[in-house]
Amino acid sequence: MNASVIMSGAACPLLLLTAVSLGQSGDEGGQESLEDRIRHDRRSQIQSELMPRRIQAPRISEWADVLNIDEEDRLRLNDAQSIYASKFRSIDSEQGRLIRNLWASSWQWNEIDETWNPVYTPVLIELMEASSTAHGEIGEIEQAFFRSLESTIDPEKHPEFLQLKYERERELLHGRALLRGADLDLLQLVKRVNDEPDFLARLDPLPSRYRRQVIEAMRVRIGNRTRIQMDRTRLLVELGPRWRLGTPRDQQDRVDEQLADLDAEFIEQDQPLRWLNQEFLASIKKRLLPEQAARLQALYNQEVHPDLYEDRLRFDQLGRKILDKCMIVADREAITMILEETDRKLARLAESAVELEDSKMSATGSIDEVDRAIVEIMIDLKVLEIMIRRRETCERAIGSIRGVIVGYGQELHDEIEDFLRSSRAANNANRFKLERLHQLRQNLIMLPGDWDQEPLEEEDEQQRQEIDQ
């Protein structure tokens, strides 16, 4: 990833934000403009991540209700809450106040890009150090508060306590992942498979072990990210503003290599969390019923690879709309059969695309950069071909349905035509990408015989026949 992308919003130890594009204009009559509102909201978000907000009393009261804490123990909990709030205010009056005072000198609003960008001076380093100190101190007082909370609950409520503590710790340690699947909370997906209150508890010890491992991995990640971000900031502060002007080209190249290495190391910090999620997914599926395991895998795939399911979502929406307007039983049965058959084909194609994307995510390690690029391009080519086939499958299904609903009004036929036009445009774009990626692949290959595509094409044809069957 480009260095400027990472540090455009990652100039503090515990923060990783990306650029935010804003709409144009504002309200008339002296009211705050849309840009001003979003700029203010973004600034508040950055500042709240620099200096986290404390747990508020209503939330603690909700926890007490969930954990069935009795009146006597609630009095003890109130004392612990008062101590926690007092210590938090003390941290805020020191580190939080310093962060707010240094803000204007450390961050600058870019009206062209409509983003907040860090200003690389020693003041920024001071702000980052204050943020790191604040997070460390807040972590300590919250651990003490949770120990007090734990002492007030009955043993049978311990699983619920662990879940509440885990959710708060994720808030404090959260940093947007740059690798797919790293920031996914699989326990939330498991709840979507079965929303019974005690379902996670029945799956123990897997959920408890997952919570511990995730929080530990997030602590390690945030610590390493802090170090990497600080190293990068110190380097840019030392170089100074507009450092490229007057700097020899070879020295610029060396600095760019340093920045690229730091960026790569930063991204690599997501790997343990991604692997942990994959391992937990495989383990928890063995404890579920087959249909639950399939549902969990499907949810995981959709969360990790949302771009592979956009066409499916649009197809499903149109299918539901057609069924809602279809009043003739025979027509509904015919349309339902077409939709179900198409759904099975799309599911198989999606599984193939997900497997390919997952293999690309694993295309790291000992192979060099050019070889890895060739592997990734080959995978991209296969995924694009699958996506083209998915849209063609949807188009054929909608074409068949259109023949069934001849007399259902012009509005529905216009929506079908819009769907088909959009699908064909997407496939035209993908075919363009295919052509250019083929060209790029050939340019990268020094010895064509080492990367023969024929086996892949044979595999694609076999896969296509299996899906068509």
Helix (H) or strand (E) holding 118: strand 115-118
- 443: number of Cβ within 10 Å: 8
Residue 199, burial from CB neighbour count under 10 angstroms (0-12, 13-18, 19+): middle
The token duo for 132 is 């790191």
pLDDT confidence tier of residue 454, bands split at 50, 70 and 90: very low
- CA 24 to CA 31: how far, in whole Å? 15
- Answer for the pair 161, 66: CB distance below 8 angstroms, yes or no: no
Q: Which CB contacts under 8 angstroms, 24+ apart, belong to 317-322?
A: 318/398, 318/415, 318/416, 318/419, 319/401, 321/412, 321/415, 322/401, 322/405, 322/412, 322/416
- CA 343 to CA 318: how far, in whole Å? 13
- CA separation (Å) from 243 to 236, 253, 458, 469? 8, 12, 52, 62
- Answer for the pair 296, 281: CB distance below 8 angstroms, yes or no: yes
pLDDT confidence tier of residue 463, bands split at 50, 70 and 90: low
- CA 8 to CA 39: how far, in whole Å? 15
The model's pLDDT over 200-238, given as tens digits with 9 standing for 90+, comes to 888 888 999 999 999 999 999 999 999 999 999 999 999
Of 429, 314, 451, nearest to 378 by C-alpha is 451
- Answer for the pair 64, 74: CB distance below 8 angstroms, yes or no: yes
Examine the pLDDT at 22 and tell me if it is beyond 60.
no
Residue 466: the pLDDT is: 52
Residue 19, burial from CB neighbour count under 10 angstroms (0-12, 13-18, 19+): middle
Residue 164: the pLDDT is: 93
The model's pLDDT over 308-334, given as tens digits with 9 standing for 90+, comes to 888 888 888 888 888 888 778 888 888
Least confidently predicted of 108-122, 130-144, 150-164: 108-122
CA angle 313, 315, 191 (to 5 degrees): 30
User: What three-state secondary structure class fits 59?
Assistant: helix
pLDDT confidence tier of residue 24, bands split at 50, 70 and 90: very low
356: CB partners within 8 A, 6+ apart: 379, 382, 383, 386
33: phi then psi, degrees, rounded to nearest 5: -75, 165
Examine the pLDDT at 427 and tell me if it is beyond 50.
yes
Residue 19: the pLDDT is: 36
CA angle 247, 249, 254 (to 5 degrees): 90
- CA 432 to CA 197: how far, in whole Å? 50
